[in-house]
């Protein structure tokens, strides 16, 4: 194992997976924008929410890295980007320690957010940490039993956007839930690409994702439906509010269409680029939606 300072730093950078962080940032941006639209905005709370979300994402990434390796899902045959535990860049104990430190930092920030939001935020925070660990760890890892899509849809969409909005306003609105569905749908689409790419290795490891359970056609249709749902919601709100700026996310539809076509025609390691581009789609969609709400 390489333990030189520069190599170690690079290893941790690989471990936290910066390209996944838009999944944590996007719902916070949208929730804050909606609160601002409703004449509520608290800068310190917004910053704390953003940092807590990013730390929870990093902690979940570290948990996924080490537990997938320990359960045999990550091997030398994996098609996706390098994983630090599997490749020997960091030991399982190092990654576990990093996971614990990251979640403790998230919990520290969460104490402030809990002071602002009360018991409901405490419950959301604790549930987020537990879910981040048991997604691939514990006696019943959610990702290994086909619950990954539901987990992502809930925690990166229906919980994240209304939760952010609640911290700003003290209430949960129907619009915050709808916007949570939109963001959660594209976040789930990212996981769909990941699971489609890994369908063979996951099947051998006993990881029963929806791709493994129902096959490639099912998840390809799921991907398209998730994108359709995401784009319908800003349209519904634009008509409801009579606010043309909410049509801004439509400008990202060409990218969404190209990705849906590529997902339908490519497989294996070629889906790595589709995965990266779907994450970019989420961030672009969220930014356009944020600006659309604010304008």
pLDDT for res 145: 84
Classified as helix, coil or strand, 285 is: helix
pLDDT for res 2: 43
Q: CA 150, CA 155: separation in Å to the nearest integer?
A: 9
pLDDT for res 262: 95
Mean pLDDT split into 10-residue runs, the chain, 295 residues = 55 86 94 96 96 93 84 61 79 89 92 92 87 77 84 92 96 96 96 91 86 93 97 94 94 96 88 93 97 94
Is the alpha carbon torsion for 120, 121, 124, 125 positive or negative? negative
pLDDT for res 1: 40
Q: State which CATH number among 2.60.40, 1.10.600, 1.25.40, 1.20.120 fits the domain covering 18-294.
A: 1.10.600
Q: CA 232, CA 222: separation in Å to the nearest integer?
A: 15
32 in Cβ contact with 168 (< 8 Å)? yes
pLDDT for res 69: 78
pTM: 0.90
Q: CA 294, CA 246: separation in Å to the nearest integer?
A: 9
47 in Cβ contact with 113 (< 8 Å)? no
pLDDT for res 189: 96
C-alpha pair distances (Å), 15 with each of 58, 65, 74, 95, 183: 8, 7, 14, 8, 24
Q: Cα dihedral angle (19, 187, 66, 77), rounded to 10 degrees?
A: -80
Q: Where does the chain have alpha helices with state H?
A: 5-16, 22-37, 43-70, 84-87, 92-117, 119-134, 148-153, 160-169, 174-197, 199-205, 210-214, 216-241, 253-265, 271-294
148 in Cβ contact with 60 (< 8 Å)? no
């Amino acid at each position: 194992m390489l333990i030189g300072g520069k190599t170690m730093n690079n290893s941790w950078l690989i471990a936290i997976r910066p390209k996944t962080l838009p999944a944590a940032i996007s719902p916070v941006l949208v929730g804050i924008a909606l609160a601002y639209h409703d004449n509520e905005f608290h800068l310190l709370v917004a910053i704390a929410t953003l940092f807590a979300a990013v730390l929870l994402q990093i902690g979940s990434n570290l948990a996924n890295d080490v537990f997938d390796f320990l359960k045999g899902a990550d091997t030398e045959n994996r098609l996706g980007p390098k994983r630090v535990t599997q490749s020997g860049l960091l030991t399982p104990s190092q990654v576990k320690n990093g996971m614990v430190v990251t979640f403790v930092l998230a919990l520290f920030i969460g104490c402030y957010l809990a002071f602002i939001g009360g018991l409901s935020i405490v419950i959301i925070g604790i549930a987020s940490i537990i879910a981040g660990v048991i997604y691939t760890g514990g006696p019943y890892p959610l990702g290994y039993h086909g619950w990954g899509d539901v987990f992502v849809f809930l925690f990166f969409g229906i919980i994240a956007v209304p939760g952010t909005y609640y911290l700003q306003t003290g209430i949960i609105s129907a619009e915050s839930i709808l916007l949570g569905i939109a963001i959660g749908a594209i976040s789930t689409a990212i996981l769909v690409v990941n699971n489609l790419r890994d369908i063979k290795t996951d099947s051998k490891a006993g990881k029963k994702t929806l791709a493994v359970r129902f096959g490639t056609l099912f998840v390809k249709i799921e991907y398209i439906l998730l994108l359709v749902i995401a784009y319908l919601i800003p349209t519904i709100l634009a008509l409801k509010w009579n606010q043309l700026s909410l049509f801004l996310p439509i400008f990202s539809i060409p990218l969404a269409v190209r990705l849906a076509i590529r997902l339908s025609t490519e497989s294996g390691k070629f889906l790595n680029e589709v995965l990266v581009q779907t994450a970019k789609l989420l961030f672009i969609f969220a930014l356009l939606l944020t600006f659309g709400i604010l304008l």
